[in-house]
Amino acid sequence: MPTLFDPVRLGATEMSNRILMSPMTRARSTADHVPTDMMVEYYAQRAGAGLILSEATGISAEGLGWPYAPGIWNQAQIEAWKPITAAVREQGGKIFCQLWHMGRVVHPSLPGRGQPVSSSATTSPEDVYTYNGKQPAVEARSLARAEIQRIVDDYRAAALNAAAADFDGVQVHAANGYLIDQFLRDSVNLRDDEYGGSISNRVRFLREVVAAVLDAVGAQRTAVRLSPNEARKGVNDSNPTALFEAASIEMSALGIAFIEIREPGFSGTNGQAERPPIGPAMRRAFDGKFVLNSDFDALKAQAALDAGLADAISFGRPFISNPDLPARMARKLALAPDDMATWYLGGAKGYTDYPTAT
């Protein structure tokens, strides 16, 4: 069986190991969502990952509701990403851009936003981020059918922009209760047209977005992130196994490079997840590389590879405080703890000041 440190090919991307850095919002861009110089150092420090999945990156102002998060919808943003992708490549790394539309989790107080949009006129039960701290979410308006095509076109344009910024590929963020997830799952998707009701209809928006993205950058440079097993930002489903099996079949038919899923651990009544893992059923349904994420350490990750549950594992929080995470794992070194208070603090503290192992 392969180890975490063996190479693997994900579509067109040759990885030197099977360790991915998962997407993590860090809020170090400008208020206009332009990447900053400190992000060059941050990503270059972590280029030992077989593949970096960038922090979630807005495809449009409408879809970006996180202060100081980056975007990829205008020329200034494209130009600011170029030194980051170049720095990762100079260190021997690879990097995908994660494409993000937050849907109903966007607050109208952010400049130029207006009422958020979603599959249906619903309201997130959680407070949302603004430049004045967290505030209660407001009701989203249901997207008209013509607007859905506009957003599909925004994803296509963002993928083209990511290619112009020299990313190795893109990942469509379809997880964690954001817009695509708001179409997928029936607790939020209350539509009665061809985008709602049946599982096939609810998967339609995801299918159209991914088809547009692969038309822009190619199937072998396109990936998708899903979160099949637990409520995220008030978004859930009554039959998630059937839903995410169907989504996996659709993604397989499109020939994308890989699926990454965020699925917390499950241990009966005390587990974080609501039910046993859906990942194994998705892996059987998907004819491509499969990546697992959430709650892994080196031992659990290797066990998942040994069991054939995944082809690679993505790690999030350990990469925050261990920029050389793959090297530390290979040497079986203890990992440094991170400081949650600095996750979104801005500045170098808790961002680029974590040392590598000696």
Catalytic residue numbers read 178
Amino acid at the residue 332: K
For the chain, the C-alpha Rg in angstroms (whole number) is 19
Start-to-end CA distance of the chain, whole Å, equals 30
- Quickly tell me which residue has 């009422």 as its tokens: 115
- Under 8 Å between Cβ of 116 and 53: no
Task: Please name every residue paired with 232 in a beta bridge, in sequence order, or none if there are none.
Answer: 235
- Residue 40: count of CB within 10 angstroms of its CB: 20
Interatomic CA distance for residues 77 and 36, integer angstroms:
10
Neighbours of 160 (CB within 10 A): 17
DSSP letters for 132-197:
TB-B---PPEEPPHHHHHHHHHHHHHHHHHHHHTT-SEEEEE--TTSHHHHHHSTTT----STTSS
